[in-house]
């Protein structure tokens, strides 16, 4: 090597040696912690069960298969009781003054929310609600189909068109036609509210296992979470993330809330906006491959 080359190599080595090790480590961690950019995310919200009632339970073999093949959030917490305020928290980053399960006035709030943010960004949004009498219906309940509007917070917002609320029968069979982000809300039996853990687990397997399998090889995600616990476990709830870019069998013991999940859904969709308390929440980490 010529003398000038040796001098250049020595200078480069000196510069590299002067860079703090922590700076290099920070860059590496930042890269590892970045979120994927899935084409589709489907969020299913189940009802009223604590973490220990579902995770590890023989009554929920399908959910636990998602745990084995996906990411398990072991310290996920709801905000309050009863059900409805938690749905508003997950969808909009706040309870919007809702404190009970009473049927709300349609479009009572204009606050930012996941649906309005997706629409404003030119991305697609939709909900699929089991038992909803017809697409866009704003009825409070339907006893024959076990439908309850209290589990569908999108109806409370004037900036989310009611036309984006579909019946579950309209859930696409061609999964590539799903919205960028969508919610699935089972009826009062299939969400484990009025019926058993086993009933809800079987419903999930019957209706969403094909999507979960597809998601794992088609840049998409399935999230299964709960609105609240059984009021006996500090509001610690099950939440599982499954699909491509999720490390199989991974766990995260970081404490998260519905606000953390909302923040993560916004960032997975590439949104720059963050609704309500999601703005100060942290993204879910520790499960991404």
SS (H, E, C) 233-280: CCCEECCEEEECCECCCEEECCCEEHHHHHHHHHHHCCCCCCCHHHHH
Q: Which H helix or E strand runs over 119?
A: helix 114-120
pTM as predicted: 0.89
Instruction: List the structure tokens of 220.
Output: 């998409």
Q: What is the pLDDT of residues 117-166, one digit of tens each?
A: 999 999 999 999 999 999 999 999 999 999 999 999 999 999 999 999 99
Location of structure tokens 């745990």: 67
CA distances from 233 to 75, 143, 230, 261, 280 (A): 12, 30, 7, 20, 25
Q: How is the chain split into domains, by residue range? A: 1-33, 39-280
Q: How does residue 100 score in pLDDT terms, banded at 50, 70 and 90?
A: very high
Quote the CA–CA distance of 266 and 242 in Å, as a whole number. 17
pLDDT of residue 217 exceeding 50, the answer is yes
Strand partners of residue 43: 183, 223
pLDDT of residue 24 exceeding 70, the answer is no
**Residue 63 DSSP label:** H
pLDDT of residue 3 exceeding 90, the answer is no
CA 116 to chain centroid, in Å, comes to 16
Are 48 and 226 in contact, with CB atoms under 8 Å apart? yes
Mean pLDDT of the chain: 91
- Reduced to 3 states (helix: H, G, I; strand: E, B; else coil), residue 44 is strand
Instruction: List the structure tokens of 225.
Output: 């979470």
pLDDT of residue 219: 98
109 CB-side CA count, 13 A: 21
pLDDT of residue 34: 87
| Edge-to-edge strand list for the sheet holding 236-237 | 236-237, 76-77, 256-257
Q: What is the pLDDT of residues 86-99, one digit of tens each?
A: 999 999 999 999 99
Which runs of consecutive H residues, i.e. helices, occur in the chain?
3-18, 21-33, 51-54, 61-69, 83-92, 114-120, 197-215, 258-268
- Reduced to 3 states (helix: H, G, I; strand: E, B; else coil), residue 229 is coil
Quote the CA–CA distance of 23 and 234 in Å, as a whole number. 39
% of the chain at pLDDT higher than 90? 88
Q: What fold does the segment set 39-280 form as a domain?
A: Alkaline Phosphatase, subunit A (3.40.720)
pLDDT of residue 39: 98
CA 195 to chain centroid, in Å, comes to 23
Over range 185-198, report the average pLDDT.
Answer: 98
**Residue 159: how many CB atoms within 10 A of its CB?**
16
- Reduced to 3 states (helix: H, G, I; strand: E, B; else coil), residue 202 is helix
- Among the residue ranges 25-29, 91-95, 275-279, the one predicted with the least confidence is 25-29
- 12, with CB counted inside 10 A (0-12, 13-18, 19+), is exposed
Question: Any idea what the Cα angle at residue 257 is, between residues 246 and 278, rounded to 5°?
Answer: 90
CA 228 to chain centroid, in Å, comes to 14
Q: How does residue 18 score in pLDDT terms, banded at 50, 70 and 90?
A: very low
Nearest Cα residue to 78 out of 257, 198, 207: 257
103-106-107-108 Cα dihedral, nearest 10 degrees? -50
């Amino acid at each position: 090597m010529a003398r000038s080359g040796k001098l250049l190599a020595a200078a480069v080595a000196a510069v590299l040696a002067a860079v703090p090790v922590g700076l290099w480590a920070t860059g590496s961690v930042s890269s590892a912690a970045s979120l994927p950019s899935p084409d589709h995310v489907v969020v299913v919200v189940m009802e009223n069960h604590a973490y220990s009632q579902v995770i590890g339970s023989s009554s929920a073999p399908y959910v636990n298969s998602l745990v084995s093949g996906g990411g398990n959030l072991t310290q996920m917490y709801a905000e309050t009781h009863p059900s409805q305020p938690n749905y508003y928290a997950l969808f909009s980053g706040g309870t919007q003054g809702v404190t009970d399960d009473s049927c709300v006035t349609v479009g009572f709030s204009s606050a930012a929310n996941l649906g309005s943010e997706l629409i404003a960004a030119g991305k697609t949004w939709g909900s699929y609600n089991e038992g909803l009498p017809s697409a866009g219906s704003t009825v409070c309940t339907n006893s024959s189909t076990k439908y309850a509007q209290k589990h569908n917070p999108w109806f409370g917002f004037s900036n989310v068109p009611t036309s984006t609320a579909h019946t579950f029968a309209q859930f696409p069979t061609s999964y590539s036609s799903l919205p960028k982000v969508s919610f699935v809300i089972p009826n009062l039996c299939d969400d484990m509210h009025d019926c058993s853990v086993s009933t809800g687990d079987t419903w999930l397997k019957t209706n969403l296992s094909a999507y979960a399998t597809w998601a794992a090889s088609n840049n998409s995600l399935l999230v299964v979470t709960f609105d609240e616990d059984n009021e006996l476990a500090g509001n610690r709830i099950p939440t599982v993330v499954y699909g491509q870019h999720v490390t199989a069998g991974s766990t995260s013991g970081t404490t998260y809330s519905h606000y953390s999940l909302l923040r993560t859904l916004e960032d997975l969709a590439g949104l720059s906006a963050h609704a309500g308390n999601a703005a100060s929440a942290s993204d879910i980490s520790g499960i991404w491959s």
